[in-house]
C-alpha cells in the first residue's frame, strides 16, 4: 500500500471515531429536568382529568 493511501485510511478512521464519540455523548436533557417536566405535567393534567371523571359520574 502506498503511504498516501494509508494516510487517507487513517484520516477516514479518525473521522469515524469522532462521529462515534459525538453519538456516545450523554444527552442534554438530564434526569432532574425530566422529573420537573413530569411533575409539572401531572400538576397540569390531574385537575383536568378529575373534572372529566367528575362530569362523567
Query: Domain spans of the chain?
Result: 3-56
| Model-wide pTM > 0.75 | no
Per-residue pLDDT tens listing for the chain (57 residues): 688 999 999 999 999 999 998 888 777 778 889 999 999 999 999 999 999 888 888
| Nearby residues of 29 by Cβ (< 8 Å), 6 or more positions away | none
Q: How far apart are the C-alpha atoms of 34 and 29, rounded to whole Å?
A: 7
Quote the pLDDT of residue 1: 64
Amino acid at each position: 500500500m502506498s503511504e498516501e493511501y494509508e494516510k487517507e485510511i487513517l484520516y477516514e478512521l479518525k473521522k469515524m471515531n469522532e462521529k462515534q464519540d459525538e453519538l456516545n455523548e450523554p444527552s442534554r436533557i438530564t434526569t432532574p429536568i425530566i422529573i420537573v417536566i413530569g411533575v409539572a405535567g401531572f400538576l397540569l393534567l390531574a385537575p383536568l382529568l378529575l373534572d372529566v371523571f367528575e362530569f362523567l359520574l
